Chain A
Amino acid sequence: MIVHEWLFLTIAPCDAAEPWQLGFQDAATPMMQGITDLHHDIFFFLILILVFVLWMLVRALWHFDYKKHPIPQRIVHGTTIEILRTILPSIILMFIAIPSFALLYSMDEVVVDPAITIKAIGHQWYRTYEYSDYNSSDEQSLTFDSYMITEDDLELGQSRLLEVDNRVVLPANTHLRMIVTSADVPHSWAVPSSGVKCHAVPGRSNQTSISVQREGVYYGQCSRFCGTNHASMPIVVEAVSMKDYGSWVQNFE
């Protein structure tokens, strides 16, 4: 039954964790696409090395049998092979490091001026979101708390421990700046489909930039243990068109 679900119910882009999931969630940002691609590239070489090492191991076990070779060879030292098996892995590691660092630093870089700043403030155990681009005074006009929907209040189709009452609404195909901070203990703002995981540290504001490439609803969870209800402060991001975002902002009470 589970396998059935796994095979047939995952045709739609999956932007939330699901039962028996093995791979990544579908990428919604170029950052996540880069992470996925890097993972797959490295995995190719990983499999090659794994097969090679396994082959050596099995071959050794197979051939060096006490019946075939009653007197074992007493080799304890070999300069050539020791140099080779040190140099070769370090070269492989270097070739893995190059794309890895390239991706790491490109993710960190703020290339363009963002269009919208959204502040995500972690609390024990809920999140507050502030959209302050439209404020004309220090009074917060577009601020809301985002609480998890408890198991009893779930409606059909909603995910347990993942759904919230107020989602973060943001426009798709727009450069966004997320300012992540915390009001009490360290939290983390993480959305796997966006390739974002940003720690929320009290007294410090961390910036991460995202540009969601398609409209949809993306789920994430707190990724820094923050107390008893660490599991019940998920993140739900709803990416909409710029038009819908505009009307959402205008109609916000």
Chain B
Amino acid sequence: MAAGGDQEEKTLTLAQQWALKEIEEQAAKTEPPVQATEDVKPANSDSVEVVAEKTEEISATEEAIPATEEAIPATEEATPATEEAPPTAEEATPATEEALPTAEETPPAIVDSNPVTEEATPATEDATPAVEEVSEDASEERSGEEVVSEESGIKIETAPADFRFPTTNQTRHCFTRYVEYHRCTAAKGEGASECDKFAKYYRALCPGEWVDRWNEQRENGTFPGPL
């Protein structure tokens, strides 16, 4: 990652200078967590609802099970059919267990597994609390961050920690973000929305005085960076 960033600064071939892919991908990876949680949040609240619905359904089917058990002695012919039923329930359990880890991220998976869990009531009795715990924990963490930004009434977001610059000295971090922004606008055009994040980053990291000086230098054509 670090090597990629440095290379791109140093290379002089035009093709490489205009290639912003690496920078953009990198920035996408280092997007601040707040944005990510904002995207995830609505989906997540759905998943909590789904879990709640599911538990209701399960309790409903639990009541239904004794009823079918009572039916077994009544009709001997029916027994093979009900014998078949438990294996399907067992088969279904691994499926729901598999669904557990995915439940955190993908609510659709839970929705899909719903019909399965309905069939597999006895087995999922054990599994359901786990599902609840997992999704509750996840939602708590995310909603915690969400509350923070809602609470303040402003968007709490800043330049993320960049692992090209892990040290106390952040001088080059600021400078690199400034250069990245101006290379981005050079390639995508002035005021391109893709470049806004770089602007945000360098404004957060660079003292205003430095930015003013660099802007002046760029106007005069004496800026020392690889623009």
Contacts and interface: CB of A to CB of B under 8 A. Distances in A.
Instruction: Decide if A and B are genuine partners.
Output: yes
Interface of A: 108, 110, 112-117, 119, 121, 130, 132-135, 138, 140, 143, 171, 174, 177, 179, 181, 183, 198, 203-208, 241-243, 245-247, 249-250
Contacts, number: 100
Given A121-B209, A205-B169, 9 more contacts: A114-B160, A174-B148, A183-B207, A205-B170, A242-B151, A243-B151, A246-B151, A246-B152, A246-B154
A110 B170 contact: no
Given A177-B158, A243-B151, A207 B204 contact: no
Given A203-B171, A205-B170, A242-B148, A116 B205 contact: no
Interface in B132-160: 148, 151-160
Contact of A208 (B159, B168, B171): B168
Contact of A247 (B153, B169, B204): B153
B195 interface: no
A132 B204 contact: yes
Interface of B: 30, 32-34, 148, 151-161, 166, 168-171, 173-174, 200, 203-209, 211-212, 215
Contacts of B161: 110, 112-114
A213 to B, nearest CB: 15
B21 to A, nearest CB: 23
B148 A117 contact: no
B170 A134 contact: no
Contacts of A113: 30, 32-33, 158, 160-161
A138 B168 contact: no
Contacts of B212: 138
B148 A135 contact: no
Contact of B215 (A116, A138, A181, A208): A138
B158 A133 contact: yes
A122 to B, nearest CB: 11
Contacts of B209: 121, 183
Contacts of B158: 113-117, 133, 177
